[in-house]
Structure 1
Amino acid sequence: MLEEQHDNLQDADGNLITDSNESTSAASAEEQKAEEQQSTVVNENQKALNAIEESNAEESEDETLKERHEIPMLDYDTLSMEALVEELQKLVATDKVMSIKDHIDEIKKAFLAKYNHFIEEKKEEYHAENPDTTEDFQYHLPLKSTFDHFYTEYKNKKNAHFKSLESNLKSNLENRLAIVEELKELINPQENIKDTLKHFNELRERWKTAGPIPKDKYNHVWNNYHFHVENFYDYLHLDREARDLDFKHNLEQKQKIIERVAELVNEEDINKAFRELQDLHRIWKEDIGPVSRDIRDQIWNQFSDYTKQIHDKREVLFEKQRENEVKNLENKKAIIAEIENLGTIKVNSHSQWLVQIEKVEALRTAFFNAGKVPLDVNEETWAAFKTAVRNFNALKNSFYKEIKKDQNDNLAKKNALVAKAKELQESTDFAATTPIMKKIQEEWKQIGHVPRKYSDKVWKEFKAACNHYFDRLKEVRNEENSEEIEAFDKKKAYLDTIREFQLVGDHKTDLDAIKAHIETWKNFGKVPFQRRHIEGKFNKILDALFDKLSLSKKEGDLLRFSNRIDSLSENNDTRKIENEKIFIIRKIDEVQNEIFQLENNIQFFANTKNAKKENSIVLEVRKNIAIHKENLDIWKEKLAQLRNLNQKVDE
């Protein structure tokens, strides 16, 4: 390590020149101002560099964080509880635990806010309908259980991820520190230069694969490493030619990075530019070695200046986002004021209250869609919104406390439907009764609320009568499907037989045997709709057998197609048959167009001077035409089979 030396200087007369306050005060104002401006530039650049280093340090500790930029951050406040749970489920299904952390936090905040608001409304409704009750309010929302399930799954994954990560960070740190110590020892004049260079390159390779370290150690360890790498280049008596070549290569790489960063300054997507800038800083720092000392500061300053320009544009973007948040706050305040106003207007009919409720629901939706507000007023804004809605609900509930007639009328209507359902639940005339039972269920859905104390009882009675009838209907239909079930069982057993079937080697004998298997399979009959997968298993075995036979392409295709169409016909799958027909007609048109184009090409060659000599291109085109015509014959044969099938169905 070099020590600083302070030598006393004398002027021409031998007087001692000292470093005094007087000499400082003698400095020119212009020089001081220039130094202050330079210091300001350096400080501003350092802020930009610090932002990059902080991001890279965090992502270096856990590389999955690099992938979080690939997942778009939605405005989760605008989503419904159902949509939030769907997004949570999709995110938790990924293995990028830490890359989804910010998304999960936003989803949790948005969901719990909506859920708590929902529960508060239900609680107020309950106490409004049961003012004299002493029972505690309870309400179970299945969606909340689903949310808790996926959120717990996320927490378990995150804990497992941290446990695995922490077990590696410490050992990786120790490994990197050991590499730094070895770098220190490289400066040894006694060692052979070739051995030293070989050892140096080995250390650099080990460094690249040493793994992540704690983010709070990242910058210190990396700076320490680079100090000793540069020290190795600057103070070790290397072979000058080899060193200069390495310096030149590193300079070229860093100049390319500077050129790319200069382009990123004009990138419209600021966040995208900043993410790529992070990567370029990481490459500069981690992958590229030093350059010659005389230009080291120069290129670093160029890199830093461009970095600051991108950082400044990012800050402008953030400032616009903050301005938008302030606008969102004003919008939400206006919405709250409208809800507060609606909470003071008394109306005297159910229809009028429905209009008021619809207005508040629209305002609630607008509030959730209004976007984020500044973080320091978020809780305050949310509290004001809840209070406004609560006051409106209190006014609404006071009205509904006084009217029970509609609910009692609804109870009478539902009791009448219960009686009718019980009367029909033992009916054996299923053709006539089933439409009536379905109509009863539809009428039930159209009837409004009944008094809460009767709600569960009347619903259970109605549900029991309907279930009893439809369970009996299902049993009858199952008996009617017994033949299909028997056919399935036979086909299932027959699969084992055909799996053991072996070809004897004689083409005609083997083909006849396979056709006999197909005919036997058809004779078993139709299987239940939900068990049609067995047809696919049979067709897969047939395909394997056809592949073993020495069939022509046309013969093999047509046999497979015929078997598949027979299967669709047997299961009365008219939709798939019609789709198959449309597909084949399109294929015929495509092949015919191809043939037409190829034949035009042939005519073109025939009109040339060398028409008599068919070159390789012409021969290849003729060959291609023959292949297309063969395919066209196959497609037409398939279409003919389908049309014959339709004729049989019509007969």
Structure 2
Amino acid sequence: MEMEREKTEEQEQGHPTEVVTNHGHTLQSEIDLSDRDEHHEEHHEDEVHEHVDYSHHTKAQFADLIKDLAKDANFKKVDNILREIKPLYDDIRDKERAEALLKFTAGGGTEEDFDYKGDDNDNVFDANFKLIRDRRAQYFKQQEEQKIDNLQKKQEILEKLRVLSDSQDTSDQFDSFKTLQREWKAIGAVPGPQAKTLWANYHALLDRFYDNQSIYFELKELDRRKNLEAKIELCVRAEKLADVEIIKDAIRELNELHHEFKHLGPVPKEDKEAVWQRFKAASDAVYAKRDAYLQNLQQELQVNLGGKASLSDEVQQFIDFNSDRIKEWNQKTKEILELQKRWEVIGGLPRAKAKEVNKKFWSAFKTFFNNKNAFFKKLDEEREQNLQLKNDLVKKALELKESNDWERTSNELKNLQQKWKDVGPVPEKFREKVFKEFKDACDHFFEQRRTQHGKVESEQAENLRLKEDVCSDLEAHASAHTGTEDILLELQAKFNSIGFVPKKDINAIRTRYHEAVERFINSIPGITEDEKGKITLENQLNELRSDPMAERKIFQKEQVIRKKISKVENDIALWKNNLEFFGRSKNADKFKDEFNDKIREASDHLKQLKEQLKLLKTV
């Protein structure tokens, strides 16, 4: 035992990283384990950190993000995010600065006089960026100071352990020893270069203490068995981590288990290597799963790269889209949003290619919506103009709604309604209001007119009855052959003096009247054809006098009569000319008689037509 103790002391002084226990086993495995814990933990945090696509963030979103980062104490995560978002934010700021410079020089300024101050988002971003750097520097400074302080504390504990291990006073030594162990465990990390030496000396002094405390051998073995049980439990927990689906959670818990394993005291020497190999095997299984996950992740990222690169090419067609129709813009919006959904479903990209592909996709995406916003801004301006036009129409309708000039106002309101239809849409928030005002004004007038028309319809129904009575009188005289020209003039005057009838009955009563007049004239006793024609014409002229379109209708009738006169005159001239050719004909007398009859009838008809024309001119 003395020889083994001497070896430990020599190793502590000359080769502190290769400490030998009293059973001849080195502590290299447990020391390496502590280092490996730190390396695995750091490597894992770098590799499985969840990636977020910041390429389409706005300045305001970046400003909010960095304010949150300024409150986060996880500086490793904060540094990773800052490395990604700082260039993106600087790109946006550089573009804005270039646009401001271009605007400044376009206004007559010079580049030397240009001073770009940025906006509130820039101030927030820069202030929080500086705050993070200051906090980070302060944090790591405090960490280093704390590590130096921890080193001093652990060295003091090592010195106490040396004194305790060499002490001959065995009373309360084990309690003091366990107290020192708890204090050692409670102290945090130390500077890296001293860590292995500290651990080596610490375990060497633990072994020296147990070796020197033969009186407490049984208690030592009991403590080591408890430590063994605890380490076996840690092995079981580590082995279960191989079944955890979320790799990140498994690695985090495994790092915690490594920390506990490292700080547990020694185990029986015959079990030491076995329990370590078991724990190491469980850890390696998790790390292997992590490595496989990362390998698959890289393959997935490559597949994602192909998919998103294709979508980046596909979205380029939207850059030059233009239309003056809302429906087409909305259709294109649905299409590009569908591309966005497909983009978001795909997932992350390899970091080396992410910025390029994201920029290509989101630049086209942003350009499309900028163009769409410009279109709708112009549309909104047009709708504001339309609103003014419709308000003007509402004002005119309100001015007309109390009018009693039914016909004129009705036409004017219908004209306003047509103009209303011709005016384009107005802003959505005013559409119902302005339409209601216009409709209410129109409805008010037409409701008043309908009330008035109810009275008119009653009068027209009575007029229809009166005109039917006149027709009945004409028909009765015609049937009894008691009609005279005076009676006809009297009934005709009575018929024309009666007002309007319902529109649906106009044609029917007019047809009945004309047929009754014709029967009446034909039934007058002893009347000649010439007299019938004259009476008929006079009757027609009397009707025309009360017709609103009398002038045009008289002109048309005059033209018809003149055409008939011209035709009859031509026929008479032709027949007279033909009589000269019948002189040498065998049947000349017969043909002459026929033509003379025709000439005589045509002359009579011509005379009637000229009398009709003369009568027409008196109207």
The normalised TM-score by structure 1 is 0.44
The normalised TM-score by structure 2 is 0.46
Larger Rg computed on CA atoms: 2
